[in-house]
Homo-oligomer: A and B are copies of this chain.
Amino acid sequence: MGKRTEYCGKISRDLLGQEIVLKGWVQKRRDLGDLIFIDLRDREGVVQIVFNPTFSKEALAIAEGIRSEFVLEIKGRVVERKEAVVNKNIATGELEIEAYDVTVLNTSKTPPFYIEDGVAVSDDKRMQYRYLDLRRPEMTQNMILRHQMTKSIRHYLDDQNFIDTETPYLTKSTPEGARDYLVPSRVHPGHFYALPQSPQLFKQLLMGAGFDRYYQIVRCFRDEDLRGDRQPEFTQIDIETSFLEPEEIQAFTEELLAKVLKDTKGVELTLPFQQMGYDEAISRYGSDKPDVRFGLELVDVSELVKESSFKVFSGAIENGGAVKAINAKGSASNYSRKDIDALGEFVSVYGAKGLAWLKVEEDGLKGPIAKFFKEDAEALIEKMEAEAGDLLLFVADKKSVVHDSLGALRSKLGKELGLIDESRYAFLWIVDWPLLEYDDAAERYTAAHHPFTMPKESDIGLLETDPGKVYAQAYDIILNGYELGGGSIRIHKRDLQEKMFKALGFSKEEAEEQFGFLLDALEYGFPPHGGIALGLDRFAMLLAGKENIREVIAFPKNGKATDPLTEAPSLVSEAQLSELSIHTTKIED
């Protein structure tokens, strides 16, 4: 019959009375004998098709054999529906198509689940039949949203003179805290490529090449233990620039994000974004990626309780720890003793040995530990800005445990108490990061971001004397409590890079072995440079209003790093392994 003239979902009043050709899938069919209705679906939406003997006996006869998910070509005329049967749930609901010609382009078995939003089916089944899952309008829309985002990102960066440059996927392992995926070389037996955890060094080399402004929307690979928002492969918006200060990099990043929000969600963000020092974020929110859409801030009561007769509190402080508390405003009556015990269980996962609590009533503090705070009750109430009906929750421990546990508790309570305005996009910069973190297990410093991060100019002297005190020229961008991305100014001189490797415990030989090519490169006129990398999957997930990046990836892996559709990874032939000069020491059942 010929070319499609319209998408189903785009049929509008402008087409009233016109002949059109549609191609799409049968969403639903209702057979009233001499009258058959079909909802025909394509990626843009759904429209109702009507068959009856007046329009075409032949078409009606064919329509009788049609089932769900058959692929049809329809020729017909756009007409208005009667007022009584207008369907306000779909964009085309005031119209329908009188069909006088139909061709079945393909048949379909009954799908294993309904092709509709909010379907109740296991994630693995959805992935096994991903081609059906992606037909569901919300999934199609998620993928279109993702494309609109990358389009918007590219337009912005293209307009700003960035050069989109591809970097290799078969490359050398760069230790950045996660395991590498390795690829055995056939040509060089016993040797391996690594899939990149990020193109960090290549983008720095491109700055050395004078490219000035680079970007790439690029796949990255980390063989990590999987969690809800992690995948073996993920996509990064990777950016690097020369000659810019952190503030300039942050400024264009804000413009970029604002454009994406505007183009895809019609949301106007207010620039510049809020900035917060790392130390302040940890202190106030117990997190380096706080969700600032709600309060429940951590209050340090250490001063107040350091001489308390409640030994759990005073003891923690004596041991160099702290006591902090959250005021769950007006929640005293919502949490029973049992509920609070459950919160105690929750924080124990983060290492907290207990969760102390007090309820504020008209006549003072109540609860098992209230007796210890008779004298300090008023001061405590004032410090916590508490009033009758509030629930105060305390953790006393070493500082990292206090922050981790109360930070997590804060997030949990924020959701439970409905304090979060889900319509808001709260962007936040976390700045003034420490350069290094001490790894107790390894008994050495590790890079808080990566080993190429530039220290604050004023702290460079400390790198050799007191490395734990050095701050970095680094900045993370947070959206609604998720780390959307991070960046830094990089080291551009060999001597400083060598000092950094030394601070990280590399011997001269190890540094040379792993990063000799970078150290050599830094001797040939590298410009001052820095950049940022943003997680596209997580960004798309947040704009799609989802809680797992699988919802915005066309063909994701499941929690066991397996693709239920293709069944990758799979066994391969001995001949293939032999050509690669490897064999396997263990085969899983």
Contact = CB atoms under 8 A, between A and B. Distances in A.
Interface of A: 3-4, 7, 23-25, 41-43, 69-71, 73, 105-109, 111, 129-135, 140, 143-144, 146-147, 150-151, 154, 158, 163-173, 179-195, 201-202, 205-206, 208-212, 219, 221, 223, 232-233, 235, 242-243, 248, 492-493, 517, 521, 523-528, 553-555, 557, 560-563, 565-572, 576-588
A397 B562 CA distance: 52
A526 B242 CA distance: 49
Contact of A171 (B568, B582, B588): B568
Given A183-B182, A194-B568, A528-B106, A587 B554 contact: no
B572 A106 contact: no
8 contacts: A42-B210, A132-B524, A135-B209, A143-B211, A169-B219, A183-B569, A188-B560, A206-B554
B205 A570 contact: no
- Counted per complex, copies of this chain come to 2
Nearest to A584: B190
Given A167-B555, A554-B167, A172 B106 contact: no
B524 A69 contact: yes
Nearest to A108: B525
B163 A143 contact: yes
The 8 closest A-B pairs by CB, nearest first: A108-B525, A190-B587, A134-B209, A131-B208, A172-B568, A191-B569, A185-B569, A172-B566
Contact of A189 (B41, B42, B517, B588): B588
B170 A147 contact: no
Contacts of A554: 165-167, 202, 206
A237 to B, nearest CB: 13
A131 to B, nearest CB: 4
A304 to B, nearest CB: 48
Contact of A182 (B23, B108, B521, B576): B576
Contact of A581 (B206, B232, B584): B584
Contacts of A555: 167-168, 171, 202, 205
B131 A147 contact: no
Contacts of A23: 242-243, 527
Given A150-B164, A210-B42, A561 B232 contact: no
Contact of A168 (B184, B209, B517, B563): B563
A189 B587 contact: yes
